[in-house]
Amino acid sequence: MNVEKPNEPLLNIKARIAKLDRLPTMPKMAQEVIQLGANPQASISDLVKIVEMDPSLAAQVMRYASSPFFSYRGKVDSVHTAVSRVLGFSMVMNLALGVTTARPFKLPKNVPLNIDAFWRHAIYSAALTQALSGELADDVRPPAGLAYLAGLLHNFGHLLVGHLFRKEFLILNKFIIAEPEKELVEIEKQIFGYEHGQIGAWLMHVWKLPEELIVATREHNNLNYQGQHAIYPQLVALSDRLLKEYDIGDAPNSSIPQSLLQSLDIGDYQARMVVNRVMEGCEGLDTMARQLAS
């Protein structure tokens, strides 16, 4: 396939977004989750009520709580059990926020960056980013739920472009097919002038999502980032490269820079043991991804 290369970006995506009459509004249930999180009096029962309003979300919460890497010996027979005995309030809050934020956006199915691939990568990245965060020293370890959310939504920019600018998103996918050896972020800059991390972070900023999540989204392709909340994009970057060995995600390769491991103070063997543990739950994770993509 021959695709003519432009001398400058085909589409200044930021300018196009700015010209929209109205940016997508945050889904109502995501707003309810954020409001609940801001309420210091919120209880597990309050959260369970919100989750149970969405049967699909309730199923995701229960399935994740049943994953082998939580090693819960009892039966996860309700959302309340999943929250109170396995995952915890914060973890379920962030899982619910991520799912309800991203699910309304749709991508085509017959392209490399399709909706099935998005959710499979998102679910695995979320689980692995959370698991890797548990290996960090106590003084730098982020909350497990926020690490999960960073992994789940770090490719949010693909959803935004694919949903708002379908024609240009299809052009991007044509370039990906035509130049499989070229890194995705370089193709995106060539076409849009920006890469998907920057694009996703713009809408997250408008929606006033947590700053840690915005940084993780904006910087996860920048292995040299050492600014505020750097631990989040570093964890996501490590997760992406570990998953690439299983042909999951869009990392340029599976090579893990020593500098990244040093920044996180995680050994290479240690990281690979964690990903092996997460992959033991692949059947449940694949089911979650398929349900979210449908």
**73 in the same domain as 5:** no
Give per-residue pLDDT as tens, 192-240. 888 999 989 988 998 899 999 999 999 999 999 999 999 999 999 999 9
Provide the domain count of the chain.
Answer: 2
Residue 20, pLDDT above cutoff 90: no
Confidence of residue 74 (pLDDT cuts 50, 70, 90): confident
Residues in the chain: 294
Do 68 and 183 reside in the same domain of the chain?
no
- Three-state secondary structure along 50-69? HHHCCHHHHHHHHHHHCCHH
- With contact defined as beta carbons under 8 Å apart, do 79 and 62 qualify? yes
Q: Are residues 82 and 165 in the same domain?
A: no
Predicted pLDDT at 25:
84
Can you give the pLDDT at residue 249? 94
Nearest 5 degrees, angle CA 154-CA 159-CA 164?
140
At which of 104, 129, 150 does a domain end? 104
Alpha-carbon span 158 to 115, nearest angstrom = 10
Alpha-carbon distance of 98 to 103, in angstroms, equals 8
Out of 69, 104, 139, a domain closes at 104
Taking only the tens place, the pLDDT of each residue in 147-163 is: 999 999 999 999 999 98
Domain boundary among 71, 86, 104: 104
Same domain for 55 and 190?
no
Is the pLDDT at 2 greater than 50, yes or no?
A: no
Radius of gyration of the chain (CA): 19
Q: DSSP character for 281? A: T
Judged by average pLDDT, the poorest of 2-6, 28-32, 232-236, 248-252 is 2-6
Nearest 5 degrees, angle CA 44-CA 48-CA 51? Answer: 140
Q: What is the pLDDT of residue 10?
A: 60
Expressed as residue numbers, the domain containing 134 is: 1-24+108-294
CB 92 within 8 A of CB 61: yes
Q: Are residues 71 and 43 in the same domain?
A: yes
Whether 4 shows a pLDDT value over 60: the answer reads no
pLDDT digits (tens, 9 = 90+) for 93-126: 999 999 999 988 989 889 999 999 999 999 999 9
Instruction: Judge if 221 and 118 occupy the same domain.
Output: yes
Do 128 and 38 share a structural domain? no
If you average pLDDT over every residue of the chain, what do you get?
Answer: 90
